Amino acid sequence: MTWSRLSDTLVGIPLKTPVIIASGVWPYDADLWDKNNLDGVGAICTKAVSNKSRRGNTGVRVWETSCGLLNSIGLQNTGVHDFLQNALPVIRKGGMPFFVNVVMESIEETQETLKALAEHDDIIKGVELNISCPNVDGDGMAWGVSPESTAQAVAASRSVWQGSLLVKLTPQCHDPYGVALAAEASGADGLVVANTWLGMAIDINQCRPVFNRTFAGFSGPAVFPLALRLVWQVCEATSLPVIGCGGVSTWQDALSMILAGASAVELGTAMFVHSDMPRSICKGLDAYLEGHKIDHIRELRGRAQARKGVF
C-alpha cells in the first residue's frame, strides 16, 4: 500500500512511513526482510552489532509482566565481520531501508566496528549508536548518562563514520536536555528516545531475583507515558529529528509521539504481540489525517508543543 501522507525523509534516508522496527526484534530471515512483506514499515534497525562476538547473559533472559516485558539478553551477537558476511546480503536483497544498531563499547572497539561498516557505505547508509552501554574506559556507567560522556562517544563515532548517525539515548540519564544538546553538538544527525528502562523481577518461589544480573531492561505499554515525556523534553532541547521509542503499541501512541515533536517512532515489544502492528498503526494515522483534512503527517509534528498551556 502507498502511504503518501506518511512518507518522509529521515536523516537523509527516504522512508515510506514513520514506523521503524526497533533493534533486537527482527531476525535475519530473508522473507522477513523482503520489502514486499513489510507493509507499513518505514525502516528496520538491526539487532545489536559489536566489534567481536558476544555470548550475552546467562540464565533467564526474558520475563513477561502484567504490563510489559523484561529482557536481559546482553547484546548477544556474532560480531561485525560475521554481520557483514552473513546478515548484510540478506538485508540488501530485501530492499528495506535500515539502520545498523552499533554497540558503544570502548572508543577503540566502536571505531573499529564503524570503520568496518564504512567499507560498505554503498549499502549501509545509517547507524544507530547505542550509548546505553557501559563505558569500560571510564567509570563503568552507561555512556549516555551524562553530557560529557555522551559527547565523547558521539564525537569519536562521528570521526570515523560519515553516514547518517542516530544516537539512541538511555532513559537513565539525569539531564536529558544536556545529553541531547551534547549529542547534537558532537555530530549526531538524529536522536532515538529512548532505550529500555531498568526494572527487575523476583522469583517468589526461590526468593531470589529472576535475572542473574538482577536488573533488566523493561519495555512495553507501561513505559509509554515516560517515553513520551522524554521525547517532549528532548524535542524542546534540540532541533534534531527525534524518533520516539518506548511503549508505542497503537496509532494513538504514535500520533502522540509526533504531536510531541517526534519525526518517527520505533516499535519493539509491540511487534511480539502483533507482527502486523506497523500496518495497523499506519492505517490509523492515515485515517486520522483524512478525517481531519490534513495533507501530511509532518503538519502535526510538534503541534502539542506549540499549544502547551492553551486551554
Cell of 230: 522524554
Which domains does the chain carry?
Answer: 8-56+72-196+218-307 (3.20.20.70)
**Amino acid in position 120:** H
Q: Measured between alpha carbons, how far is 306 from 311 in angstroms, rounded to an integer? A: 12
pLDDT of residue 191: 99
Per DSSP (E only), the strands in the chain are 8-10, 13-15, 19-21, 43-45, 62-64, 69-71, 98-103, 126-130, 164-168, 190-193, 197-200, 202-203, 208-209, 215-219, 242-245, 264-267
Alpha carbon 241 to chain centroid, angstroms: 13
Mean pLDDT value across residues 151-176 = 98
Asked whether residue 12 is marked as a ligand-binding residue, the answer is no
Cis peptide, bond prior to residue 194, ω within 30 of zero: yes
Report pLDDT for 310: 57
Report pTM: 0.97
Does 67 qualify as catalytic in the annotation? Answer: no
Tell me: is residue 75 an annotated ligand-binding position.
yes
Q: Give the tens place of pLDDT for each residue, 90-113.
A: 999 999 999 999 999 999 999 999
Computed over every residue of the chain, the mean pLDDT equals: 97
Catalytic hit among 45, 133, 245, 282: 133
CA atoms within 13 A on the CB side of 61: 9
pLDDT at 311: 57
**Interval 268-292: pLDDT, tens:** 999 999 999 999 999 999 999 999 9
Q: Is 73 annotated as a binding residue?
A: yes
pLDDT tens digit sequence for 202-235: 999 999 999 999 999 999 999 999 999 999 999 9
Termini Cα distance of the chain: 38
Per-residue model confidence as pLDDT tens digits over 38-96: 999 999 999 999 999 999 999 999 999 999 999 999 999 999 999 999 999 999 999 99
Q: Is the pLDDT of residue 190 over 90?
A: yes
